[in-house]
Chains A and B, each alone.
Chain A
């Protein structure tokens, strides 16, 4: 394990009786990286997370979290890793600060340190004015933020967030994702899981797409887009002027030009051709209004990937039946 890897999983497997929840999953998370475990409900994301924390037994495979084995050294792992479960719960009868105080005492912070850390953490997630309010008055988004405050208060090196954005409105989601980005800037590695691909794709450096307990795809969103969607980059241009289409088609790497509206063109290319395209438009005295590369959408990748896969599996099964 190299120095910059904080989580390393090799062949991680979890079986319940005869059912396999997680099937030989291998991945690693680097220091300061935001890694997304994405996939539909029941794909094995939460089980994987619980195995990383030593909260459920590992059936087979190896995990190392910050160099510790979660099965044998759970306390060392849990001291350094913050965890926010799916729909995090707090003691409703206690105030936000008291809830954090309980956790802080469990971790073992002494009183002055406890109070300072709690105040800082609540300020960071924007809950300072609610510190002495009972948690049963909190909205869902505030509870999630309190969950993040707990991780901040803990001073965790890794934050593991299970479905941090589920059930949140768009505004609360944006706030939450901003806090998660702040984790990264403080050098905290983040492992988050979600079934809402679009919402989290913007924060993840790398993602692993789960399907039926296996990692189907892993890499950065852009890489996956190229790998699965094939066509590489899609660049949209909006400019006043005429006759760009032919010139743009001549740029090396561009495989096609499509007219998508008045003065709007879409380029399909195997690399990012924005600089060349801009130069061409300007060279032809055109007025460039918009130039953007379309980020590949995780939803599109996911759907495309699983559109094709079931067929393959089906053909394989049929082949097997024929062979039999």
Chain B
């Protein structure tokens, strides 16, 4: 038997309420200032570097995002570092906060399903992140125009816009993770610490660990080692393991999109390079093709994390 009515009844109401909560919260304001200041610093460094060193570059505009000048990392590295923090900051107390304020059972006694509450919270978080990221993107594009003085081409705008979209998807992955832990743990502090811990492990420890684990799974071939080369099987295993982390996926997509000369995200044999004009940029559609599997991987992990949380939330007791 089907249950009556739509699962999305009240979705818009929940979303708007959560969105206004997010946008007016002190937490969000702090995060936004952090991101804007850090991004401006990175941008300033990049522009200085570009002015000093780059003479001619067909994709000068994209260099804004990827160029770094010591001691500051590039804009892209800042973003890949800060976006998860923002997403976790928005999501870690979304469901357990309702428990702790004792509002959950009162809200669920209204004619809506739990689906609407959870979807609404996720969408509100995502829209909040999207608003911040779009603003940031516009700031970067605008400042780039002003400070470099060269208008970007259509392809550069296209590439940087796709980078924006992928960043929002990346934020969605972390938001879904934060939401999942806010469902699992009644204490917001526990949820925040666990999510941040997982973020640290996935982003900083896992890439290193993946190399070590790959050596165990596919031990390097002494013949390759004698030649000073990496064993293909080991490299592949390492890549597969590293790609379990959304941070790796995001980094790969960013490289493919913002550096048009990227031809492959994995190891390639010399034979595959035959006839290739090294350093020649790929058209946007080809770059998208390279980045597509990683993008789908990120979307899938966001959906997977959300669904796990959704199933648990549906079964959870509402009493505090």
Give the residues in chain B near A82, CB-CB below 8 Å. Answer: 109
Contact between A53 and B109, CB atoms less than 8 A apart? yes
User: Is B108 positioned at the interface, with any CB of A under 8 Å from its CB?
Assistant: yes
Give the residues in chain B near A92, CB-CB below 8 Å. Answer: 101
User: Is A91 positioned at the interface, with any CB of B under 8 Å from its CB?
Assistant: yes
Q: Which of A6-52 contact B (CB under 8 A)?
A: 46-47, 50
Contact between A75 and B318, CB atoms less than 8 A apart? no
Q: How far is the CA of A56 from the CA of B105 in the complex (A)?
A: 11
User: Is A90 positioned at the interface, with any CB of B under 8 Å from its CB?
Assistant: yes
Q: Which of B1-27 contact A (CB under 8 A)?
A: 1, 3-5, 9-10, 13-14, 17, 21
B13, B101, B319: the one within 8 Å of A91 (CB) = B101
Give the residues in chain A near B107, CB-CB below 8 Å. Answer: 103, 106
Known contacts A56-B318, A91-B101, A106-B14: A78-B106 contact under CB 8 Å: no
User: Is A59 positioned at the interface, with any CB of B under 8 Å from its CB?
Assistant: no
B1, B4, B102, B319: the one within 8 Å of A75 (CB) = B4
A72, A86, A87: the one within 8 Å of B4 (CB) = A72
Interchain nearest-CB distance for A97 vs B (Å): 14
Beyond the given pairs A72-B3, A85-B319, A106-B112, 9 more chain A to chain B contacts, judged by CB atoms under 8 angstroms and listed by A's residue number, are A46-B319, A50-B105, A56-B318, A73-B4, A75-B113, A79-B111, A83-B106, A90-B101, A106-B110
Contact between A83 and B109, CB atoms less than 8 A apart? yes
Contact between B102 and A87, CB atoms less than 8 A apart? yes
User: Is A88 positioned at the interface, with any CB of B under 8 Å from its CB?
Assistant: yes
Contact between B3 and A74, CB atoms less than 8 A apart? yes
Contact between A108 and B111, CB atoms less than 8 A apart? yes
Q: How far is the CA of A72 from the CA of B109 in the complex (A)?
A: 15
Contact between B106 and A85, CB atoms less than 8 A apart? yes
Q: How far is the CA of A3 from the CA of B5 in the complex (A)?
A: 26
28 contacts across the A-B interface (CB closer than 8 A)? A47-B319, A50-B105, A50-B319, A55-B105, A56-B319, A72-B3, A72-B4, A73-B4, A74-B3, A74-B111, A74-B113, A76-B4, A76-B111, A78-B110, A79-B111, A83-B106, A85-B102, A89-B101, A89-B102, A89-B103, A90-B101, A102-B13, A102-B17, A103-B106, A103-B107, A105-B13, A106-B107, A150-B106
Q: Which of A94-108 contact B (CB under 8 A)?
A: 102-103, 105-108
Interchain nearest-CB distance for B194 vs A (Å): 24
Interface string of B91-116 (1 = CB under 8 A from A): 00000000001110111111111000
Q: How far is the CA of A49 from the CA of B266 in the complex (A)?
A: 58
User: Is A267 positioned at the interface, with any CB of B under 8 Å from its CB?
Assistant: no
Contact between A75 and B5, CB atoms less than 8 A apart? yes
Contact between A56 and B4, CB atoms less than 8 A apart? no
Task: Please list the residues of chain B having a beta carbon within 8 angstroms of any beta carbon in chain A.
Answer: 1, 3-5, 9-10, 13-14, 17, 21, 101-103, 105-113, 317-319
Interchain nearest-CB distance for B107 vs A (Å): 7
Q: Which of A278-314 contact B (CB under 8 A)?
A: none
Q: How far is the CA of A91 from the CA of B21 in the complex (A)?
A: 10
Interchain nearest-CB distance for A118 vs B (Å): 14
Q: How far is the CA of A208 from the CA of B266 in the complex (A)?
A: 70
A47, A75, A81, A150: the one within 8 Å of B9 (CB) = A75
Give the residues in chain B near A102, CB-CB below 8 Å. Answer: 13, 17
Give the residues in chain A near B102, CB-CB below 8 Å. Answer: 85, 87-89
Q: How far is the CA of A46 from the CA of B102 in the complex (A)?
A: 14
Q: How far is the CA of A46 from the CA of B103 in the complex (A)?
A: 16
User: Is A147 positioned at the interface, with any CB of B under 8 Å from its CB?
Assistant: yes
Interchain nearest-CB distance for A302 vs B (Å): 24
Q: Which residue of A lies closest to B3 (CB)?
A: A72
Interchain nearest-CB distance for A150 vs B (Å): 7
Give the residues in chain A near B21, CB-CB below 8 Å. Answer: 91, 93
Contact between A78 and B109, CB atoms less than 8 A apart? yes
Task: Please list the residues of chain A having a beta carbon within 8 angstroms of any beta carbon in chain B.
Answer: 46-47, 50, 53, 55-56, 72-76, 78-79, 81-93, 102-103, 105-108, 147, 150
Interchain nearest-CB distance for A51 vs B (Å): 12
Give the residues in chain A near B112, CB-CB below 8 Å. Answer: 75, 78, 106
Interchain nearest-CB distance for B108 vs A (Å): 6
Give the residues in chain B near A73, CB-CB below 8 Å. Answer: 3-4
Known contacts A55-B105, A85-B105: A78-B3 contact under CB 8 Å: no
Give the residues in chain B near A107, CB-CB below 8 Å. Answer: 110-111
Q: Which residue of B lies closest to A71 (CB)?
A: B3
Contact between B106 and A55, CB atoms less than 8 A apart? no
Contact between B1 and A72, CB atoms less than 8 A apart? yes
Contact between B111 and A78, CB atoms less than 8 A apart? yes
Q: How far is the CA of A84 from the CA of B109 in the complex (A)?
A: 9
Q: Which residue of A lies closest to B99 (CB)?
A: A89
Q: Which residue of A lies closest to B110 (CB)?
A: A106
Q: How far is the CA of A181 from the CA of B21 in the complex (A)?
A: 36
A55, A89, A91: the one within 8 Å of B109 (CB) = A55
Q: How far is the CA of A93 from the CA of B103 in the complex (A)?
A: 13
Give the residues in chain B near A75, CB-CB below 8 Å. Answer: 4-5, 9, 111-113
Q: How far is the CA of A90 from the CA of B98 in the complex (A)?
A: 9
Interchain nearest-CB distance for A145 vs B (Å): 14
Q: How far is the CA of A87 from the CA of B101 in the complex (A)?
A: 10
Contact between B13 and A83, CB atoms less than 8 A apart? no
Give the residues in chain B near A46, CB-CB below 8 Å. Answer: 319
Interchain nearest-CB distance for A262 vs B (Å): 53
Q: How far is the CA of A81 from the CA of B13 in the complex (A)?
A: 20
Q: Which residue of B lies closest to A47 (CB)?
A: B319
Q: How far is the CA of A72 from the CA of B113 in the complex (A)?
A: 12
Give the residues in chain A near B113, CB-CB below 8 Å. Answer: 74-75
Q: How far is the CA of A47 from the CA of B1 in the complex (A)?
A: 24
Contact between B317 and A56, CB atoms less than 8 A apart? yes
